[in-house]
Amino acid sequence: MAFWLSKSRSISSLLGKRIGLLTILHERKNGSFLQSRRDGVFGYKNSPEFSIKSATFSATGRRFKSSKTGEQVELPSSDEDDDENHAVDFPGGRVAFTSRMNFTSESSGKRIPCFRVLDDNGYPIAGSIFEQVNKEVAVRMYSGMVTLQIMDTILYETQRQGRISFYLTSTGEEAINLASAAALSPDDVVLPQYREPGVLLWRGFTLQEFANQCFGNEADYGKGRQMPIHYGSQKHNYFTVSSPIATQLPQAAGVAYSLKMDKKNACVVTYMGDGGTSEGDFHAALNFAAVTEVPVIFICRNNGWAISTPITEQFRSDGVVVRGQAYGIRSIRVDGNDALAVYNSVRTARQTAINEQRPILIEALTYRVGHHSTSDDSTKYRALDEIEHWKTAQNPVARFRKWVQGNGWWTDENESEFRSNIRKQLMEAIQLAARKEKPPIANLFTDVYEENPPNLVEQERSLGETIKKHPQDYPSDVPL
């Protein structure tokens, strides 16, 4: 009873105060609704909060006309509705009451800004505060980005020539790859999605090791079992890539829990794309990581496209960064094409994650310049000039090069010498990888379980007989 009285008093008082605004707001509501649809995910020009309020007033207004609230309308009201004296210790903490029926807005009305320290021309932005990268690290980061570019170009072509079955480039996302890797320690455990080979490159995985995996030869650590680009390396603390989107995320929370229990001075870093954030595993992971308070950094490469699905058809939130707060996770949005900004964000995230034992969410805004994979032709669903813009004007490698060269740490001569050197190394690695034998047939059956169970022993024997009988049915390059 008391509750209803105070509520009606307050709403009525609001009515009295704001009744003059009602008509205007109401009219605006319809307009803004249409506008928000047209603007799609980033249409924040409208004022959603107003629309809701106006709808509320119009619904409740009629009721009070017939009730005896006339005198209550005249009662003084306070704008400070959140009254600490009228709060209750609900499970989860004390919550103050308010007499204003106020739906929270679907957005803050303004997009979360994107942290960057280098401008488009590679000059530090005036007033930006960031940790300097020394020459050695900067050159290594830059040369890693170039190496990744060359690897992508040549292995993509290798697939086009039919020499490997599949490939997937990281073009446009070189800065996220190398800069995030550079900000970590080798003890930090990486659970990749599949567009982060640069992290493995930074950690010392050789061009030969990349080529071996893509050719699925006997030297492939995965024993020829997975498609190209499904790299993994125990010695580099880099979990083996699996194709399903986002499955690595809740696993990362579990890995981080282990680091926490062992009191390791290390964290977990796991990557995903913008599409991956729509998977249930993303929600599961962020929630688990927040609740278990584990040192894990979630890095979302928001490159705008999930194969052909643009982010406007992926979510209605202001991207990914805003999700963090809902899970109780500290988050940052960073320019994924600014290597220094990525480096700084990940470095700080790492310190926080380890020192405070908490997860961090990083949304790195970027663009997938390449097709999704060799099985995709992205010109079928996006404009060429859009791709061209990101390939040239917003190129992360070119921007970082300007900064590195601006510091006098890199020259045009270094550039051409390095590029031709890497190209040569890679061509040799590919030749060697192609010449190597495939893994022996026994590898088809091992590692399903730690030991082969009787059904697999039987199937291996049976297959052996079939191969002897019909050798022409089977590839000759797989040793028996």
Partner 1 sequence: MADGSLRKIGRFCLIFCKQKKNRTEGGCVCTATKIGRRGSGGGRERGFSTTTATTEEKRSPQQQHSQGNDNKKSSNINLFTAINQALRIALETDPRAYVFGEDVSFGGVFRCTTGLADQFGKNRVFNTPLCEQGIVGFGIGLAAMGNRAIAEIQFADYIFPAFDQIVNEAAKFRYRSGNQFNCGGLTIRAPYGAVGHGGHYHSQSPEAFFCHVPGIKVVVPRSPQQAKGLLLSCIRDPNPVVFFEPKWLYRLAVEEVPENDYMLPLSQAEVIREGADITLVGWGAQLAIMEQACVDAEKDGISCELIDLKTLIPWDKDTVVASVRKTGRLLISHEAPITGGFGAEISASIVERCFLRLEAPVTRVCGLDTPFPLVFEPFYLPTKNKVLDAIKSTVNY
From the centroid of its chain, how far is CA 10? 45
Residue 216 interacts with partner 1 (CB under 8 A): yes or no: no
Measured CA to CA, the distance from residue 132 to residue 114 in angstroms comes to: 19
For residue 304, the minimal CB distance to partner 1 (Å) is 26
From the centroid of its chain, how far is CA 355? 23
Which pairing describes strands 268-273 and 189-191: parallel, antiparallel, or unpaired? parallel
For partner 1, the closer of residues 122 and 273 by Cβ is: 273
For residue 287, the minimal CB distance to partner 1 (Å) is 5
Measured CA to CA, the distance from residue 103 to residue 162 in angstroms comes to: 57
Please give the full DSSP string across 247-277, using - where no structure is assigned.
THHHHHHHHHHHHHHTT-S--EEEEEETGGG
Q: Is 293 one of the annotated active-site residues of the chain?
A: no
Q: Which of 7, 26, 100, 283 binds partner 1 (CB under 8 A)?
A: 283
Q: Annotated catalytic residue: which of 173, 196, 372, 378? A: 372
Q: Annotated catalytic residue: which of 243, 258, 416, 420? A: 243
For partner 1, the closer of residues 128 and 287 by Cβ is: 287
Residues 449-478 that bind partner 1 (CB under 8 A): 449-450, 453-456
Residue 280 interacts with partner 1 (CB under 8 A): yes or no: yes
267 and 358 in contact (C-beta within 8 Å)? no
Q: Is 378 one of the annotated active-site residues of the chain?
A: no
| Contacts of residue 456, Cβ cutoff 8 Å, sequence gap at least 6 | 445, 448, 449
| Contacts of residue 352, Cβ cutoff 8 Å, sequence gap at least 6 | 330, 358, 360
- What is the total count of residues that contact partner 1 (CB under 8 A)? 48
Q: Is 372 one of the annotated active-site residues of the chain?
A: yes
Q: Which of 70, 109, 204, 244 binds partner 1 (CB under 8 A)?
A: 244
For residue 244, the minimal CB distance to partner 1 (Å) is 5
Place of tokens 């609001």: 14
Residue 226 interacts with partner 1 (CB under 8 A): yes or no: yes
Residue 349 interacts with partner 1 (CB under 8 A): yes or no: no
Q: Annotated catalytic residue: which of 157, 313, 388, 417? A: 157
For residue 460, the minimal CB distance to partner 1 (Å) is 13
Q: Annotated catalytic residue: which of 77, 143, 345, 373? A: 373
Residue 222 interacts with partner 1 (CB under 8 A): yes or no: yes
Please give the full DSSP string across 325-393, using - where no structure is assigned.
HHHT-EEEEEETT-HHHHHHHHHHHHHHHHHHT--EEEEEE----S-SSTT--GGGTS-HHHHHHHHTT
For partner 1, the closer of residues 133 and 249 by Cβ is: 249
Active-site residues, by number, are 157, 243, 372-373
Q: What does the binding site for partner 1 look like in residue numbers (CB under 8 A)?
A: 189, 191, 220-223, 225-226, 230, 232-234, 239-240, 242, 244, 247, 249-259, 261, 280-281, 283-285, 287-288, 291-292, 443, 446-450, 453-456
